[in-house]
Structure 1
Amino acid sequence: MLATFEQAALEAGKAILEIYRGGYAVALKQDLSPVTIADERAEEIILGHLLRDFPDIPVIAEESVAAGRIPDIRGKSFFLVDPLDGTREFVEHRDEFTVNIAYIYEGVPVAGIVYAPAIGLAFTGEAGNAEKLVIDENFRITDRAVIHVRLQQENLLALASRCHGSISTDDFMAENAVTACTTIGSSLKFCLLAEGKADVYPRFTRTMEWDTAAGDAVLRAAGGTTVMLDGMPLNYGKTDQSHDSDFANPNFVSWGGRQRLAVA
């Protein structure tokens, strides 16, 4: 499965970079979030690969959902696709945007890829094995290295969203002995945890499942965890939610090595 993910992500990333470097038009979706032709082209490429290799597995993809194309995934395994995570970074010409593809089995992200085409790095995770991939200018994988989370020290290094901070996040930092914080866009936060470069990523503003699933899959494969505020693992395939739309996530905290949680 990861072979398909890698092929799809690399091809989508190539298309995204062509648009990124050549200029692009930006529109707003109904929720006022930005969307570009790069989102749409990348999703088309990824869906083509998944349909070819896994025709019986439904796909929940961000732009398809926005267009009202939502397959019934209740009781099924399925794919989650965010063709361009970090569209704001893309629009503001920061290189932190990613291509995200994940496979969900019984509510758990068991395989995923996060590819940052402008940086030339990708991260994969499946069956307890997580890797960091180096991608060259010809979109070929030139190196693979196994990655693991690090054991947490007494003082924690946290990661926070560049565009979605909150007072709750600041409170969490104070209550959990966080001594330093790095801001970064997109699902790369999960990947930094997975390769042992940070300890915790608290998220107390809204996300959707396609935003988090691929990075979460990489993190879990590297030995980390993502939990809701009640301590239970974040699950996927959330439909018929009375308090929010389908596939919306609750607040969560992602950890590297050892889980610690103090939330008021």
Structure 2
Amino acid sequence: MTSTSPIARRFDFDRSSPDEIALFLAEAAIAAGPAVMDVYERGDEVRAKADGSPVTLADTRAEAIICDHLARAVPRTPIVAEEAACEGPVAVAERFLLVDPLDGTKEFVARNGEFTINVAMIEKGAPIAGAVYAPALGRLWFGGDQAFVCDAPVGAGLPDSSLWRRIRVRSAPDALTVLASRSHCDSDTEAFLAALPIADRRSRGSSLKFCMIGEGLADVYPRFGPTMEWDTAAGDAVLRAAGGVVLDLAGAPLAYGKIGADLRNGAFVAWGDSAAARRFGSC
């Protein structure tokens, strides 16, 4: 994988590898970083959406920037972005883009830095490439065929390829490091965790949990509460590229493009080591 120039007027998915697509998505994600951090540093007011979930000016600004980049570069590819999707019906195709302009709005409001900007490419129901940018942390993860992490200061653009570090999941130890959502934990999650040999349990916000497993810093992340496809797609893509798996409760890879379910995910478990997933089961 090699570095590319800033987002071009046109991007040809048909002629691009998953690694090249991941870079294209990474450029779109980091382009929104300055707008998000501007709102973060000012501490603007939060309002509630129709479903009661929080939204900030950072969500809408970041989504506009990302979608503008994507629409200019790939005008014929459907884009499903969180805030637009909340306003009306969405359309997907065999290939489409998923955008979460601010994953972890509660973390954003709490000002703990654990929020991300997520962009993913879905093809035939699977996330084949994705980018996760944590602007407050200055970190970028992206993956297609391979997965990488690098420092990415806000406003500096995509770092040179010499600064990227390839990441890979680890083999599960006898006692696992578990990641749980900082804002969303429930009795089903606790029941699942009670059946595992756990050495350490950590809380993290947003899609950072997928990325930590991809880096080999943790082993499993269960999520039994509700999520949307744009919440998980980019982190899922990075984790898969790093050698991990995200399984539903039937033990199948988490699927995308579930238009009949309004793009809602069911329960899932993200694993670094697929052998551990088989040993302990997905639920």
Per the alignment, residue 104 of structure 1 pairs with: 122
Matched AA of 1:255:
W
Name the residue aligned to 1:131. Answer: 148
What percent of counterpart residues are identical? 47
Write out per-residue CA displacement over residues 215-244 of structure 1, whole angstroms, 9 at most, x where no aligned residue: 000000000000011111110000123xxx
Indicate the residue corresponding to 1:247 in structure 2: 263
* Correspondence 1:80 to 2:98: yes
For the aligned residue pairs, the C-alpha RMSD in angstroms reads 1.3
Gaps of 5+ in 2: 1-20
Structure 1 unmatched ranges of 5 or more: none
Q: In the alignment, which of 32, 35, 38 is matched to residue 12 of structure 1?
A: 32
What CA distance in whole angstroms lies between the structure 2 residues aligned with 1:7 and 1:34?
26
Match of 1:57 in 2: 77
- 1:261 and 2:274 aligned: no
2:212 aligned partner: 192
Out of 188, 193, 201, the position equivalent to 1:173 is 193
Specify the code of the residue in structure 2 equivalent to 1:91: V
Q: Tell me by how many angstroms 1:2 deviates.
A: 2.7
Matched-pair contact (CA < 8 Å) for 1:102–1:113: yes
Per the alignment, residue 27 of structure 1 pairs with 47
1:73-92 CA-to-partner distances (Å, cap 9, x unmatched) read 1x421001000000011111
**In structure 1, how many angstroms separate the alpha carbons of the residues matched to 2:143 and 2:214?**
9
CA distance in 1, matches of 2:251, 2:142: 25
Residues 1:237 and 2:257 are matched in the alignment: yes
Number of corresponding residues: 257
Contact 1:126–1:221 (CA under 8 A) maintained in structure 2: yes
Contact 1:4–1:50 (8 Å) recurs in 2: no
Partner of 2:247: 227
Helix, strand or coil for the counterpart of 2:164? Answer: strand
Q: TM-score, normalised by structure 2?
A: 0.88
Q: Which region of structure 1 is more displaced relative to structure 2, 251-260 or 139-148?
A: 139-148
What one-letter code is carried by the residue in structure 1 that aligns with 2:106? Answer: R
Write the distance in 2 (CA, Å) between the matches of 1:263 and 1:39: 32
What amino acid is the match of 1:94?
Answer: N
Greater Cα offset, 211-220 or 7-16: 7-16
Distance 1:47 1:170 in 2: 38
Q: Distance in 1 between matches of 2:150 and 2:89?
A: 32
1:137 and 1:263 mapped to 2: Cα distance? 37
Q: Which moved more, 1:166-175 or 1:212-221?
A: 166-175
Conserved in 1, the CA contact under 8 Å of 2:251 and 2:281?
no
Per-residue deviation, residues 168-217 of structure 1 (Å, max 9, x unmatched): 11111111212321000000000000000000000011110000000000
Distance 1:2 1:233 in 2: 20
Provide closer, same or farther for how the CA distance between residues 138 and 57 of structure 1 changes in structure 2, counting only shifts above 3 A: closer
TM norm structure 1: 0.94
Counterparts of 2:233 and 2:141 in 1: how far apart (Å)?
A: 13
Q: Identify the structure with the greater helix proportion.
A: 2
Give the distance between the partners of 1:233 and 1:135, measured in 2 at CA: 30
Q: What amino acid is the match of 1:35? A: V
Counterpart contact for 1:126–1:218, Cα < 8 Å = yes
Tell me if the contact between 2:115 and 2:205 (Cα under 8 Å) persists in the aligned partners. Answer: yes
Q: CA deviation at 1:137?
A: 4.9
